[in-house]
Amino acid sequence: MVKLLDGKKLSQKMNVQMKQDVAALATQGIIPGLAVILVGDDAASHIYVRNKKRRAEKLGIRSVIEELPVTTTETELLQLIDQYNRDPEIDGILVQLPLPAQIDPWHVLLAIDPHKDVDGFSPVNMGKLWSGRPDVIACTPLGIMKLLAANGIDVAGMDALVIGRSTIVGRPMAGLLVNADATVTIAHTKTNDVKAIARRSDLIVAACGVAHFITADDVKPGAVVVDVGMDRLPDGKLTGDVDFEHVKDVASAITPVPGGVGPMTITMLMNQTIQLAKGRAQRE
């Protein structure tokens, strides 16, 4: 019988520990601080930011939300980032993507203090990950590794396929798997016959943004399947990059959509903010 990799359940369990960690920090006079900067009026981004603020408040994390107009210049945004870089009570800084066309995301990533880069997207933190000495890690891949470990899945020795090469999911996911002794293939839009690679893989992480891209015929019997996709079917129903209903009959373990990877992403964001606050407590 297939094992359901339930991110919602693990997230709820981690919330208990995180609340305890925040309470322990409070006895030292430390309140974890998270600054979230949103530029423009992207509707989805506003929903994401609202959800992050709600979760932070439930855990006792101080959440500072900066909502800037779509006309904000790059210089103005970088000045605000610098302000939070120097704020001793802010442990993590997150700039919500996407950004308006006049702002270069690369310049933003370079501007955030790597020690406060709670998203793990800084080239410094990405370099540490690929050097085998990770510090702050991209939240979605980190959440996936936590979910696998919590379900007793050891990736060491596995042939792993990561479909997607974004700096948000694909590349850091591959780095974490390499560090955990998996043999990793990164597939993307230029890869020849991705599905042939999938059929011989022990672990598939699908993050390509194409609804039901991975079908039961593409999965090796007994493989572990992680679905990062958040896609919409023609009827508006939320689904993933994996045809869950059919793949679950082939895989040994699989994440549902929703309720799999999604809850772990925001959980890891909060957890890393708390870990950064613990680092501040040790320095003070």
96, 146, 227, 275: which is the annotated catalytic residue? 96
- Residue 258 is predicted with a pLDDT of 93
Is 165 labelled a binding residue?
Answer: yes
Is 280 labelled a binding residue?
Answer: no
52, 128, 146, 248: which is the annotated catalytic residue? 52
Is 166 labelled a binding residue?
Answer: yes
Q: Beta-carbon neighbour count of residue 127 at 10 Å?
A: 14
Q: Is position 119 annotated as part of the catalytic site? A: yes
- Are 225 and 195 contacting, i.e. CB atoms less than 8 angstroms apart? no
pLDDT in tens, 154-209: 999 999 999 999 999 999 999 999 999 999 999 998 999 999 999 999 999 999 99
- Residue 24 is predicted with a pLDDT of 97
- Residue 121 is predicted with a pLDDT of 94
- Residue 1 is predicted with a pLDDT of 87
21, 91, 117, 119: which is the annotated catalytic residue? 119
Q: Which residues pair with 187 in a beta bridge?
A: 163
Q: Is position 220 annotated as part of the catalytic site? A: no
Separation of CA 48 from chain center: 13
Q: What band does 138 get if pLDDT is binned at 50, 70 and 90?
A: very high
Q: Is position 12 annotated as part of the catalytic site? A: no
Long-range contacts of 65-70 (CB under 8 A, 24+ apart): 65/36, 65/38, 66/35, 66/36, 66/37, 66/38, 67/38, 68/37, 68/38, 68/39, 68/40, 69/39, 69/40, 70/39, 70/40, 70/41, 70/100
- Residue 20 is predicted with a pLDDT of 97
- Residue 200 is predicted with a pLDDT of 98
Residue 84's nearest CA partner among 127, 128, 116, 45 is: 116
Instruction: Kindly tell me if the per-residue pLDDT of 119 is higher than 90.
Output: yes
Give first-to-last CA distance, the chain, whole Å.
Answer: 51
- Residue 79 is predicted with a pLDDT of 98
Q: Average pLDDT over the chain, rounded to whole?
A: 96
- Domains recognised in the chain with CATH numbers: 28-113 (3.40.50.10860), 139-261 (3.40.50.720)
- Are 120 and 272 contacting, i.e. CB atoms less than 8 angstroms apart? yes
Residue 63's nearest CA partner among 21, 98, 91, 96 is: 91
User: Once rounded to an integer, what is the mean pLDDT over residues 272-281?
Assistant: 96
Dig out the tokens for 222 from the structure: 């007994």
- Residue 237 is predicted with a pLDDT of 87
Q: Which residues pair with 224 in a beta bridge?
A: 203, 253
- Residue 42 is predicted with a pLDDT of 86
Q: How far apart are CA 260 and CA 228, in angstroms?
A: 8
- Residue 284 is predicted with a pLDDT of 73
pTM of the model: 0.95
Dig out the tokens for 162 from the structure: 């990561």
pLDDT in tens, 56-89: 999 999 999 999 999 999 999 999 999 999 999 9
- Residue 181 is predicted with a pLDDT of 98
